[in-house]
A = this chain, B = another copy of it.
């Protein structure tokens, strides 16, 4: 029994990372879910469409840029289009592709949610020293390069 070397979950890095990540994401998500009936998946799709506005991304480009699978993106888009937050038309010259854009209503939601998300990010960083903030960015760059 002495030689089992049990894993100490509360010191195990992957576990701690997942706890932290879930807490942070859910704190943000809870707000926009209540206020806008918007899932995290949907929000990420909207954020990418906002960022690459004017390019008329296709669904698979959205999937690539959000690191979500195409099924999740397809379903998020169905809801977003139904809610008139995203417009979808067919691509000239390739009828398989869709051309996606935020609608005016979509932009309105985005312009409320984005500052809210950034505020959460700031309050998270505010708990860290300047050195730790720098280190965190360096760590993320090394472990999960974009």
In the docked arrangement, what's the CA distance between A138 and B13, Å? 12
Residues in chain B near residue A135, CB distance under 8 A:
131-132, 135-136, 139
State whether A25 touches B14 (Cβ < 8 A): yes
A: interface residue count bin: 35 or more
Residues in chain B near residue A117, CB distance under 8 A:
7, 12, 14
Residues in chain B near residue A10, CB distance under 8 A:
65, 146
| CB < 8 Å neighbour of A47 from B9, B24, B28, B144 | B9
Residues in chain B near residue A25, CB distance under 8 A:
14, 17-18
State whether A67 touches B5 (Cβ < 8 A): no
State the majority secondary structure of interface residues on A.
helix
On whether A143 and B124 interact (CB within 8 A), knowing A17-B17, A25-B14, A53-B1, the answer reads yes
Residues in chain B near residue A66, CB distance under 8 A:
9
Residues in chain B near residue A19, CB distance under 8 A:
67, 144
State whether A44 touches B144 (Cβ < 8 A): no
In the docked arrangement, what's the CA distance between A73 and B47, Å? 34
**A to B CB contacts below 8 Å, 24 in the list:** A4-B50, A6-B47, A6-B110, A7-B50, A7-B51, A7-B114, A7-B117, A9-B47, A9-B48, A9-B65, A13-B124, A13-B140, A14-B25, A14-B121, A15-B44, A17-B20, A19-B67, A19-B144, A20-B140, A21-B21, A127-B142, A131-B135, A132-B138, A135-B135
